[in-house]
Amino acid sequence: MVISAILAALKITIGLKANSTAVVSDGLESASDVLSSGLVLFGLEMAAKPPDREHPYGHGRLETLTALVVGMLLIVTGVLISFRSMERAFEVQHAPAAFAIWPLLISIAVKSVLWPLKRRVGRKIMSEALTADSWNDAMDALSGFTALLGLGLTLLYPEGFVWADHVGGMAVGLIVIFLGGRVARDTMLQLMDTMPDEWHMQEIREAAMGVPGALGIEKCFARKTGLKYHVDLHLEVDPGMTVYESHDLATRVRERIREKLDWVADVLVHVEPHLLATISERMHGKS
C-alpha cells in the first residue's frame, strides 16, 4: 500500500508537470491500488477470525466479497480513466515533456517484482482477494508499458502522434476494466459455490478411500468459504456395521482428509450402505 501510494503521487505529480495524460492515468490507477489493497487487508483480517455462534462456517466469505469489491472498483476506475483520456484527446494540448518517462519505468520495475510475490502467497493461502490484488499489480506493469508506448510515440513524433499519449491513457483504462471484469467474475463464481477443479476433488476422494473400511464414495461436494473449502461427503460402508462403528469410521475419514489436505477447513461425512455389499448380504441371506 505504501509503495502504491508513493508511485501514485510520483506519477500524478510528474504527469501533470510534464503534461502527459498517459502518466496521469497510470497514476490514478496506482492510487486506486491503495484502496483496493486496503480492502484486501481488511478482508484477510476478517477471514482469519475463528467461527462463532452466528458464523459456524467462519468469516471467510468476507474475504471473497472483498475481492468482488476490488473488481468492481477497478471497473469504475478504468471507465473514469478512459473517459477522461478521450476528453483530453479532443483538447488542444502541448506535447508532454520527456522526463515523464521516469515514473513509468520505476513503476514497471517495482510492479514486476510485486505481482509474482503476491500471486505466490495468494495461491499458497488460497486467498481470492490477494490473488486478485496480484493481478491488479500485473496489470499495473502492463498499463505502465502501454502508457510508456503512447508517451514514447508522442515524444518521438510530436507532430504526427500528439494524440498517442491520450490513446495510451485510454488504453490504460481499458486494461483496468478488463482486469476488474475478470476479478469480479472469478469471485462471483466462488460466491455461487462453484466446485473446485477435478484434481482437488480427486485428492479428497483418495484421502477418504485411504481409510480402512471405506468402501466407496457416492457423492462428494466442496465449496469455498474464504480461504478454505468445506466438504460434503457421502461415504459408502459395510451395511452390517453398527451405528457406533460407522460413526467411528466417518470420524476417521474426516480427520484424515483434514490432516492430508490443509486447504480443507472441515468435512461433513454422511454414511451410506455400500450397494454391492448390500446385494451380496441379501444373496447370502437367501442362500
Surface-to-core class of residue 215, CB atoms within 10 Å of its CB (0-12 exposed, 13-18 middle, 19+ buried) = middle
The string of pLDDT tens digits covering residues 10-34 is 989 988 888 877 788 778 878 878 8
Residues 212 and 92 both lie in one domain: no
CA within 13 Å, CB half, 195:
11
**What CATH number is associated with residue 114?**
1.20.1510.10
The string of pLDDT tens digits covering residues 98-131 is 888 888 889 889 988 988 998 898 888 877 778 8
Closest alpha carbon to 191 in 278, 275, 69? 69
For cell 508506448, what's the residue? 149
Report the mean per-residue pLDDT for the chain: 82
Cβ contact 107:140 at 8 Å: yes
Domain boundary among 191, 224, 244: 191
Distance between CA atoms of 287 and 283, rounded to whole angstroms?
Answer: 6
Look at the pTM and tell me if it is higher than 0.95. Answer: no
Q: Angle formed by the axes of helices 21-47 and 164-191, to 10°?
A: 20
End-to-end CA distance of the chain: 75
Count of Cβ atoms closer than 10 Å to residue 48 Cβ: 14
Cβ contact 107:11 at 8 Å: yes
Domain boundary among 150, 173, 191: 191
Residues 243 and 268 both lie in one domain: yes
Distance between CA atoms of 27 and 7, rounded to whole angstroms?
Answer: 7
**What CATH number is associated with residue 242?**
3.30.70.1350
- Residue 213 Cα distances to 46, 89, 271, angstroms: 39, 72, 12
The string of pLDDT tens digits covering residues 155-169 is 777 666 666 666 776
With a CB cutoff of 8 Å and minimum separation 6, the contacts of 215 are: 236, 237, 238, 274, 276, 277
Mean pLDDT of 62-88: 80
The string of pLDDT tens digits covering residues 154-210 is 777 766 666 666 677 677 778 778 878 888 888 888 788 888 889 889 999 999 999
Q: How many domains does the chain have?
A: 2
